[in-house]
Amino acid sequence: MSGCGRYAPTPSGDLHIGNLRTAVLAWAFARAGGSRFHLRMEDTERVVPGVAERQLRDLASLGIDWDGPVVSQRTRADAHARALETLVGEGLAYECYCTRKDIREAASAPHAQPGRYPGTCRDLTRADRERGRAKLARVGRQPALRLRADGVRWRIRDEIVGEVGGVVDDVVLRRGDGVVAYNLAVVLDDAWAGVTEVCRGDDLVSSALSQDYLADLLGLAPRVRYLHVPLVVNEEGRRLAKRDGAVTLDDLARCGWGVAEVMGAIGRSIGLEGVRHAEDVRDAITPELIRRHCAPWVFVPPVAASGD
């Protein structure tokens, strides 16, 4: 098996049916192509004790398996730090002293591009930088580090959404608390694991430009094939969350849903009837199938029977 897909949950809360659906699709695409499947815990931020174990249990119960040990992203901290040193040494990163309030206000200014860092700290003078460091030091923080993309334009080919192009954002590489940020860690860890295929929610498609550009800057291989799949949303069209009701496997079990019912719902969301196990999705999955069902899936949680 030369290729490798992956799933990388954050162990801060139980997986809901939207997370599980993405995991099933990622696994199905990898296995249908005869590839390995890698599982990584993205645990550089908040970790709730016991959650990782429950996530692994839930994934396995749906029929998802993986190759090799589950990798903790925290164990990769030295590799993250070395890559960051390389980017800084090559002038490809700069210090950022902006608070979240600063960024929100800059984003609301006329002609600002929504969701993009406006470059406030990109070309400051030495004196400006010294003042910025002093301001943060007074509140016990250090500057963040951002990618110096200098407005470069980049393109990727996504198997679901098609061609995606645009200006690469100056994304955060290291946060103000000293933790290496997601955009750098995910690129490094995917390359280290030999990941060739990234299937995840389409809310991250814009991040793929910066990540693919970073991979190119760092000379990482293999380059990945992207498949960004539609999100699962609630009845108001907002991204599904635990507060929306019976959405985790344990919640759904209390409503009378077993694995077959959960997988049946996931199957119907992509136009497949009779799905009862992850293998049923594996046997039918294609990019064309997902493209035909590219709208967000509105999930209406079942209600537990009276007295449960």
| Residues in Cβ contact with 63 at an 8 Å cutoff, skipping those fewer than 6 apart | 259, 263, 277, 278, 279
Segment 130-162, tens digit of pLDDT: 999 999 999 889 999 999 999 999 999 999 999
Asked if the model's pLDDT at residue 308 lies above 50, the reply is no
Q: Are 207 and 147 in contact (CB under 8 A)?
A: no
- Given pLDDT bands bounded at 50, 70 and 90, which one contains residue 166? very high
Asked if the model's pLDDT at residue 103 lies above 90, the reply is no
Range in 2-6, 120-124, 156-160, 220-224 the model is least confident about: 220-224
Segment 29-61, tens digit of pLDDT: 999 999 999 999 999 888 999 999 999 999 999
pLDDT of residue 305: 62
Only one residue has tokens 């800057």, namely: 217
Asked if the model's pLDDT at residue 109 lies above 80, the reply is no
pLDDT of residue 106: 64
Query: What is the rounded distance in angstroms from the CA atom of residue 157 to the CA atom of residue 226?
Result: 7
Q: What is the pTM of this model?
A: 0.92
Asked if the model's pLDDT at residue 232 lies above 60, the reply is yes
Segment 56-79, tens digit of pLDDT: 999 999 999 999 999 999 999 999
pLDDT of residue 112: 53
The residue-averaged pLDDT of 295-302 equals: 95
The conformational region for residue 274 under phi > 0 = left, psi -120 to 50 = alpha, else beta, is left
Range in 9-18, 76-85, 93-102 the model is least confident about: 93-102
Segment 238-266, tens digit of pLDDT: 999 989 999 999 999 999 999 999 999 99
User: What share of the chain has pLDDT > 90, as a percent?
Assistant: 86
pLDDT of residue 155: 96
3-state secondary structure 236-248: CCCECCHHHCCCE
pLDDT of residue 1: 60
Q: 3-class SS at 82?
A: helix
